[in-house]
């Protein structure tokens, strides 16, 4: 599985830094506590904590969380003190508090494969957002020409909208990502109680355009509760 070897994962994405810079800037602007779904081995969690942000990280992979705990031991006490980790399913984990920002970086949202998954997760996000707080996540922008390319390393099911990627010929390292389209995301967010929706391109202030790789989505809950 793609998350079974944290060190290999870190090496593969070592050069991915634009999203780290983006989320650190976001957290600094928020000036409050952050809940991060899909914290993994701390690629974004640690820079947040080093920047003075208190962050609570949630992840389903025990291997990734254990690796992050090892990394935390090498950090100053002030950084360790800012990080709280929780193992669990992001659709179900509950906290008895709310946060000033909720983030779901690096395609974690694309592990929500059904409408029911999305609804359950967004319900949790709503419950954990403080009044006026922001929810931000990023996902790949699907491209029809890429989804049409099917080989031994990838396959796409247009009915489920799930793209399956293989990183090893023996199938030991694979990844399945639900593909979300821009207007689809807007509808899902609106129908689950979110508004003030903005979609930007590639961790910039630019509006989404066809050449973008990632959609960066920000929104706020509508206080109808």
pLDDT tens digit string along 29-57?
Answer: 999 999 999 999 999 999 999 999 999 99
pLDDT tens digit string along 93-134?
Answer: 999 999 999 999 999 999 999 999 999 999 999 999 999 999
Domain residue limits, the chain: 6-139+181-221
Domain 6-139+181-221: assigned CATH number: 3.40.50.150
- pLDDT value of residue 149: 66
pLDDT tens digit string along 136-193?
Answer: 999 999 998 878 766 667 899 999 999 999 886 655 678 999 999 999 999 999 999 9
Is 186:197 a contact under the CB 8 Å cutoff? yes
Is 9:42 a contact under the CB 8 Å cutoff? no
Can you tell me the distance from the alpha carbon of 26 to that of 42, in angstroms, rounded to the nearest whole number?
Answer: 17
């Amino acid at each position: 599985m793609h998350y079974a070897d944290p060190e290999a994962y870190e090496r593969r994405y070592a050069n991915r830094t634009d999203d780290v810079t983006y989320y650190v800037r976001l957290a600094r602007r928020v000036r409050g506590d952050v809940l991060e779904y899909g914290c993994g081995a701390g690629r974004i969690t640690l820079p947040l904590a080093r920047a003075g942000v208190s962050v609570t990280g949630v992840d389903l992979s025990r291997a990734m969380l254990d690796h992050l705990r090892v990394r935390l031991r090498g950090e100053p006490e002030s950084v360790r003190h800012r990080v709280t980790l929780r193992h669990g399913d992001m659709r179900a984990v509950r906290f008895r508090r709310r946060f000033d920002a909720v983030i779901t970086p690096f395609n974690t949202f694309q592990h929500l494969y059904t409408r029911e998954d999305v609804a359950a997760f967004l319900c949790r996000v709503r419950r954990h957002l403080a009044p006026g707080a922001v929810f931000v996540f990023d996902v790949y922008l699907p491209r029809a020409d890429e989804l049409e390319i099917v080989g031994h390393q990838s396959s796409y099911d247009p009915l489920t909208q799930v793209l399956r990627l293989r990183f090893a010929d023996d199938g030991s390292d694979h990844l399945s990502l639900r593909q979300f389209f821009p207007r689809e995301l807007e509808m899902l967010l609106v129908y689950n109680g979110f508004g003030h929706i903005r979609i930007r391109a590639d961790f910039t202030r630019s509006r989404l355009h066809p050449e973008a790789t990632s959609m960066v989505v920000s929104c706020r809950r509508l206080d109808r509760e």
